[in-house]
Chains A and B, each alone.
Chain A
Amino acid sequence: MTVPRLGHPNVGLGVGLRGAHFPYILRNEPDVDWFEIISENYMDSHGRPRYVLDQIAERYPIVMHGVSLSIGSTDPLDFEYLAKLKKLAGEVDAAWISDHVCWTGVAGLNAHDLLPIPYNEETLAHLVSRIRTVQEVLERPLVLENPSSYITFADSTMTEWDFITQMAEEADCGLLLDVNNVYVSSVNHDFDPAEYLRSIPTERVVQFHLAGHTNLGTHLIDTHDGQVIDPVWELYRQAHELTGGASTLLEWDAKIPEFPVLHAEVLKAQRFIDGHTSVESAASVDETQTSSNKTVPQPATFITAEVE
């Protein structure tokens, strides 16, 4: 029987570490439980980003969340990248390392997007094999997140939740359940998000993600640019109940607010951890539609230089 959360602790309610908040965090040492970093922003850093990370890692648990592992690509795995990932994980004592069930490019290119794969037996075998290799290199279980997606393939023969379940079981990896992504994809692909939650192996869920998204009327875009809406909180409530709880992280990557606003948003999760069953008044954020054509799905993770 699998140990809940693959044996990882529930480190509480955390937020994504972003450059805009470096000064606030160093100055105020906010009472946040943990931070998640975008791995690629720190793997090669010899400057301020890495300096800040080292200080934060002395005070807070750190989780590494990558966007370029490209576990689903048919390009060869990048072992130099994996070595850097492993090195950084050791240096900041990362609680775990996560990335996405996706591919980011092929033929040597990187689209810097989390691109979907068809869900069938061939792609399942491909991913399981690569996850096992990555786990051998990293010498730890990999934790993989369900991405938001905007297309489905005619070559898929199974649902995303069946695919992820079989992938996690066969590769013996962990899951990062992004409940906002489940919601976004459920609207985009016309499925029941509650069925998704009920179907995945809950004991393998190491972490949750929460985020805001953009409603374009006909579909949703995972923009990470606002508050979590009530239907997503309801999914979080259900996921918490099904799993018994796991480390929870809020992502906010565009129109980034002041740190206290960010922190307050993730703290809303506490009422569901405390057993409240009503979403109303927890967030009271209604979904509004926008017609903006400038919606960019995350990740966009560039840190700009500071110049005198």
Chain B
Amino acid sequence: MTFQPRELGRIQQWMQSVITHPDGVRAGIDSGAARGEIDVAVSDIEQVVSRSQALTSIERLEVYGNAYFARLLECLADEFQAVGHAVDEEVFTGFAFGFLQTYPSTSYTLADLGRRFPQYLEEIRPDRKSSEEPDWADFLIDLAKLERTYSEVFDGPGVEGEPLLSPGDLQAIPPNQWPLVKLQPVPCLQLKTYRFPVYEYASAVRQETDPTPPPAEPTHLVITRRDFIVRRKAVPSTQFALLQQLVEGATIGDAIATVAATIDGSLEQFAEELRGWFENWATAGYFRQVDLPDATLIHPQRQVKLGVRDLRL
């Protein structure tokens, strides 16, 4: 009788089910998914996987089973260093283990592996107590979101090598056109709000200073990349709101009017601070160019000296 090997597809489905089973390869072999492909019991495993002189077939399969979780856990621990620091190793391993079962990798690159890790932490968070105050779970979720944003900004589109909008370029805007101007943000600019000052905690972890978790405090963060390194800066809520308006495509006039309408305090102080904010944003490289209302563009290095001081609310 001619030897008829099993179909490759069935062997692969079977092996994948076995080595990725959360309870180990023995449970994997007995699982419905595996037995639906190759109906073999643990005791008969040598019908599928041969033994070696030193190891049984089960022990050999366990090399792959152990490696599957260990490798991907290592990658998640590298990406989410601060989350890993905030909880003990066993808890982080539990997070990673559950995550890999819920959202196994479907990408050719490990850079995509952690994309849904923050979402997973939100999905498994314990029920909130009666208090509306941010809790420990919120802290971990915010940390994970921050670290994922760092990864995406680090290797995403950037503007290195391109001229950016400078404070001088802002001064070149004709005063009567200021309200109608739009600013084009750099593609790596991210505006994020967190319930904790997670950026300080994450930086301390990277500097290996063994930080303790901070108390809750709403934190508005501007995250961008310059010279291929991720930069982050906490800004006050009014400044953050204005940046949000600009990034969403509002004209400077509309953005300022929208934010001004929300201010309880002194509008004069707000107006006085504007010039400094715009200069700081330009210095920090948040914007790449100015869109003038007549569709002409002011690019960096095309300078006409006009003062931002002429801006009026």
Which residues from chain A sit less than 8 Å from chain B, CB to CB? 40-41, 43-51, 68, 72-74, 78, 81, 103, 105-113, 115, 117-118, 120-123, 126, 150-157, 188-190, 218-219, 221, 293-294, 296-297, 300-308
> Is there a chain A Cβ closer than 8 Å to B150's Cβ?
yes
Q: Tell me the smallest distance from the CB of A21 to a CB of chain B, in Å.
A: 16
With A106-B16, A305-B155 known as contacts, the answer to whether A155 contacts B11 (CB < 8 A) is: yes
Write out the residue numbers on chain B whose beta carbons fall within 8 Å of the beta carbon of A107.
13, 16
Write out the residue numbers on chain A whose beta carbons fall within 8 Å of the beta carbon of B177.
none
Q: Tell me the smallest distance from the CB of B205 to a CB of chain A, in Å.
A: 10
With A153-B48, A218-B54 known as contacts, the answer to whether A305 contacts B109 (CB < 8 A) is: no
**A296:B70 contact, CB within 8 angstroms:** yes
**B160:A51 contact, CB within 8 angstroms:** yes
Query: Considering only CB atoms and an 8 Å cut-off, how many residues of chain B contact the other chain?
Result: 67
Write out the residue numbers on chain B whose beta carbons fall within 8 Å of the beta carbon of A296.
67, 70-71, 74
Binds A, one of B99-107, B130-138, B250-258, B305-313: B99-107
> Is there a chain A Cβ closer than 8 Å to B299's Cβ?
no
**B11:A150 contact, CB within 8 angstroms:** no
- Known pairs A50-B155, A294-B70; list 19 more (Cβ under 8 Å): A47-B225, A48-B154, A72-B8, A74-B9, A81-B108, A106-B16, A110-B105, A115-B15, A117-B8, A118-B8, A122-B7, A153-B48, A153-B50, A155-B5, A155-B11, A219-B55, A305-B147, A306-B154, A308-B230
Nearest A residue to B6 by beta-carbon distance? A155
**B108:A110 contact, CB within 8 angstroms:** yes
**B68:A113 contact, CB within 8 angstroms:** yes
The 8 closest A-B pairs by CB, nearest first: A305-B154, A48-B228, A68-B108, A74-B9, A150-B63, A47-B155, A218-B54, A155-B5
**A118:B5 contact, CB within 8 angstroms:** yes
**B19:A40 contact, CB within 8 angstroms:** no
Considering only residues 170-226 of chain B, those with a C-beta below 8 Å from chain A are 202-203, 206, 225
**B202:A115 contact, CB within 8 angstroms:** no
> Is there a chain A Cβ closer than 8 Å to B110's Cβ?
yes
**A293:B108 contact, CB within 8 angstroms:** no
Nearest B residue to A70 by beta-carbon distance? B108
Nearest A residue to B146 by beta-carbon distance? A307
**B157:A108 contact, CB within 8 angstroms:** no
Nearest B residue to A120 by beta-carbon distance? B5
Our pick among A40, A73, A113 for the contact of B109 (Cβ within 8 Å) is A40
> Is there a chain A Cβ closer than 8 Å to B61's Cβ?
yes
Give the CA-CA distance A68 to B112 in the complex, in Å: 13
Write out the residue numbers on chain B whose beta carbons fall within 8 Å of the beta carbon of A190.
52-53
Our pick among B7, B52, B225, B232 for the contact of A188 (Cβ within 8 Å) is B52
Our pick among B60, B81, B158, B229 for the contact of A308 (Cβ within 8 Å) is B229
Q: Tell me the smallest distance from the CB of B79 to a CB of chain A, in Å.
A: 7
> Is there a chain A Cβ closer than 8 Å to B27's Cβ?
no
Write out the residue numbers on chain A whose beta carbons fall within 8 Å of the beta carbon of B151.
304-305
Give the CA-CA distance A74 to B70 in the complex, in Å: 25
Give the CA-CA distance A233 to B150 in the complex, in Å: 42
> Is there a chain A Cβ closer than 8 Å to B47's Cβ?
yes
Nearest B residue to A254 by beta-carbon distance? B74
> Is there a chain A Cβ closer than 8 Å to B289's Cβ?
no
**B109:A46 contact, CB within 8 angstroms:** no
Give the CA-CA distance A49 to B108 in the complex, in Å: 17
**A74:B12 contact, CB within 8 angstroms:** yes
Our pick among B11, B16, B158 for the contact of A153 (Cβ within 8 Å) is B11
**A113:B46 contact, CB within 8 angstroms:** no
Our pick among B9, B47, B60, B157 for the contact of A154 (Cβ within 8 Å) is B47
Write out the residue numbers on chain B whose beta carbons fall within 8 Å of the beta carbon of A301.
110
Give the CA-CA distance A106 to B33 in the complex, in Å: 13
**A109:B106 contact, CB within 8 angstroms:** yes
Q: Tell me the smallest distance from the CB of B153 to a CB of chain A, in Å.
A: 7
**B155:A157 contact, CB within 8 angstroms:** no
> Is there a chain A Cβ closer than 8 Å to B111's Cβ?
yes
> Is there a chain A Cβ closer than 8 Å to B231's Cβ?
yes
Q: Tell me the smallest distance from the CB of A121 to a CB of chain B, in Å.
A: 8
With A48-B228, A152-B50, A300-B71 known as contacts, the answer to whether A109 contacts B104 (CB < 8 A) is: yes
Our pick among B5, B50, B75, B155 for the contact of A44 (Cβ within 8 Å) is B155
> Is there a chain A Cβ closer than 8 Å to B166's Cβ?
no
Our pick among A45, A106, A112, A154 for the contact of B71 (Cβ within 8 Å) is A112
Nearest A residue to B151 by beta-carbon distance? A305
Q: Tell me the smallest distance from the CB of B232 to a CB of chain A, in Å.
A: 7
**A307:B202 contact, CB within 8 angstroms:** yes
Q: Tell me the smallest distance from the CB of B288 to a CB of chain A, in Å.
A: 15
**A307:B206 contact, CB within 8 angstroms:** yes
Write out the residue numbers on chain B whose beta carbons fall within 8 Å of the beta carbon of A152.
49-50, 52
Give the CA-CA distance A283 to B121 in the complex, in Å: 48
Write out the residue numbers on chain B whose beta carbons fall within 8 Å of the beta carbon of A153.
11, 48-50
**A113:B160 contact, CB within 8 angstroms:** no
With A40-B110, A155-B5 known as contacts, the answer to whether A218 contacts B74 (CB < 8 A) is: no
Write out the residue numbers on chain B whose beta carbons fall within 8 Å of the beta carbon of A81.
108
**A105:B16 contact, CB within 8 angstroms:** yes
Give the CA-CA distance A302 to B155 in the complex, in Å: 12
